[in-house]
Amino acid sequence: MSYTLRFTSNAYQVDKEIEGVLRVLQGKTSSGPLLVRNIEVKLQNARNICQRTYERAMDWADVDFDQQISAVKWKWKGSEYETARENGQFVKEPRDIIDMGELLESKQRKQSGRNVVDFEWTADHAELVHDGSDALKNGGYYPARPWTDPTLGDIDEVIGGILRNGGK
């Protein structure tokens, strides 16, 4: 079963409100020409900052999800437990969650309008890998490897950095 994560943003609405405030402020600057130009440049940089920040954050998340799947850090069923992957590789923990690469390659990023981005992993085993299971048909268990959690845990800090850099 596939696994989907949705990000929604009100960045466009916030940018519209900021634009209105900037227009008012721009009309009230009556200082010397150099100061006015400096203020105009700063106002111009503030335009659409929320939408730019959202787009940059989604670009970062897109790359980070792949890095999380590829990272050799995931627990399996104990450090002494070695398994043979379908690709012939023998691995213990920590390990990546790539195996044949189907999960990594199945990621799709879908933009639904300005304010919604869905990341979906369409591999049949995506949900099982992410959430794990205690009720396999053979009575065993499958440990969860929630590769989206580290990205979600870091995204606020990333957004803060993007905003401090003017949405770039």
28 or 127: which leads in pLDDT: 127
Q: What is the mean pLDDT of residues 125-135?
A: 92
- The DSSP output letter for 10 is -
Q: What is the mean pLDDT of residues 141-147?
A: 92
- SS3 label, residue 108: strand
The string of pLDDT tens digits covering residues 67-105 is 999 999 998 887 777 888 888 888 888 999 998 999 999
Dist CA 29 CA 114 (whole Å): 32
Dist CA 139 CA 20 (whole Å): 61
pTM for this structure?
Answer: 0.79
Dist CA 165 CA 141 (whole Å): 45
The string of pLDDT tens digits covering residues 101-122 is 999 999 999 998 888 999 999 9
- SS3 label, residue 95: strand
